[in-house]
Amino acid sequence: MASSDEPLLDLEVTGIAHGGVAVARHEGRVVFVADAIPGERVRARVRDDRHDRFWRADTVDVLDASPDRRRHPWPEAGLERDPAVRAGGAEFGHIRPARQRALKAQVLAEAMQRFAGLELDVPVGAVSASAADAGAPADPDEPAEGWRTRVRLHVDAEGRVGPYAARSHDVVPVASVPLAVLELQEIAALDRRFEGAAEIDLIAPSAGEAELVVRPAGERRGGAARRGRRAASTRDAARPHIVERVGDRLFRLDRDGFWQVHRGAATTLSRAVREHLDPARFDPDADNLDLYGGVGLLAAAVGDRFGGDARITTVEADRRASEHAAGNLADRPSAQAVAARVDRYLDRLDRGGRTLAGASVVLDPPRSGAGRAVVDRLAALGPAQIVYVACDPVALARDVGLFREHGYGLEAVDAYDLFPDTHHLEAVARLTAIVG
């Protein structure tokens, strides 16, 4: 972290990099600058973790501002604060929403060109977070705040609660959490002391009351450390759960289980998967798969698109999530949930002499992407189409490049701004086997 005796540089900001930082140069060296916008001239303090090839710096003053600069909606993350105590998690908040989305589209395009060899221009669409029409396309000028239905805050040694400072693990006490939905802002208890706690989770399910959950220091997420299968099963049965609503469908999951954080994300991604699946290539009797399936959200979207008789297997490494998926898909007689690592499940298919000829695959990996091992296994099994849901543009581009090595081409891609005021985006792509 930078200190007051680190050097100050006046920099011409020329570009944007993946990770939410802008790009400048100083005497031939690349400088990654936080809290700046391409086209600006800023004064930045160099951080003390300097490298031979590049430096990192934090903007402390704007000498020539972009017309897209705005006052940060989170005061504790703004330039008025010293970089060491700026709240993290809203690194694009100083940029007007329309320019945020343009920069994200630029990062996606550059990643696709570099890692997949493709020239693309994919706009990043605004998504409404209002409770009334969550998931619908939003007015491009609509304020971007108030979208997070899950917020994790940390607790320092004195019991004060807050986010980590940007690019550190120092807890920063704050008076507001403007990215959170209103229900969470109202219960955040930011002025309370939580002695003996490690984290505070704020959760606002779409089919229930908002909750504040205190996680004591030393407790594992998902409950205490397990001692034996029987004890684990007993505790699992008693673990708190929540219910999320997507359209007319309800999804049950553990309270600390994974769910999309933007109020409109589950609806947006369910719709996108339905739209990206090519019905001409979909065989309801094939071994269709939903990989990294969680609690069955996207498997349900497939069933809703093609009917209850469409076969779909959702594969998820988290046993509890897979158990919930089985319950959430119980109305689909041709759906099943398998608790397994995706790479091992694909290995079993291959060893058993199975193929995925004619099958459609929904692929929703973690932020790190599917990676070469899964791409190689999946491509070798030969599905008719793959709908890839990605929350990292570089991981998506890398994996698209790997699929192209196996003869799969990118037919369509759309991108959504499901993480406003941050550098993150969500994209949904369709890949199909190239004929000839």
Which residues carry out catalysis? 391
Query: Taking a C-beta distance cutoff of 8 angstroms, is the pair 404, 116 a contact?
Result: yes
Query: Taking a C-beta distance cutoff of 8 angstroms, is the pair 161, 194 a contact?
Result: yes
CA distance 293 to 363: 8
Is 244 annotated in a binding site? The answer is no
Q: In whole angstroms, what separates CA 335 from the centre of its chain?
A: 26
Q: Give me the amino acid identity at 65.
A: A
Residue with tokens 């320019």: 99
The alpha carbon torsion through 104, 371, 380, 427 (nearest 10 deg) reads: -20
Burial class (CB in 10 A: 0-12, 13-18, 19+), 168: middle
CA distance 139 to 100: 14
Contacting residues for 231 by C-beta, under 8 A, at least 6 apart:
none
Phi-psi region of 369 (alpha: psi -120 to 50; beta: other; left: phi over 0): left
Contacting residues for 249 by C-beta, under 8 A, at least 6 apart:
300, 304, 328
The alpha carbon torsion through 302, 307, 308, 312 (nearest 10 deg) reads: -30
Tell me the HSE value of 121 on the side-chain side, using a 13 A CA sphere: 0
End-to-end Cα, the chain, rounded Å: 54
Which of 433, 332, 423, 327 is CA-nearest to residue 378?
A: 433
Is 292 annotated in a binding site? The answer is yes
Query: Taking a C-beta distance cutoff of 8 angstroms, is the pair 54, 29 a contact?
Result: yes
Q: Which SS3 state, helix, strand or coil, does residue 107 take? A: helix
CA distance 276 to 278: 6
Helix ranges (DSSP H) in 284-408:
297-306, 319-328, 342-351, 371-381, 393-405
Query: Taking a C-beta distance cutoff of 8 angstroms, is the pair 250, 256 a contact?
Result: no
What proportions of the chain, in percent to the nearest 5, are helix, strand and coil? 25, 30, 45
Is 388 annotated in a binding site? The answer is no
Is 316 annotated in a binding site? The answer is yes
Binding-site residue ranges:
260, 292, 316, 364
Binding-site residue ranges for S-adenosyl-L-methionine:
260, 292, 316, 364
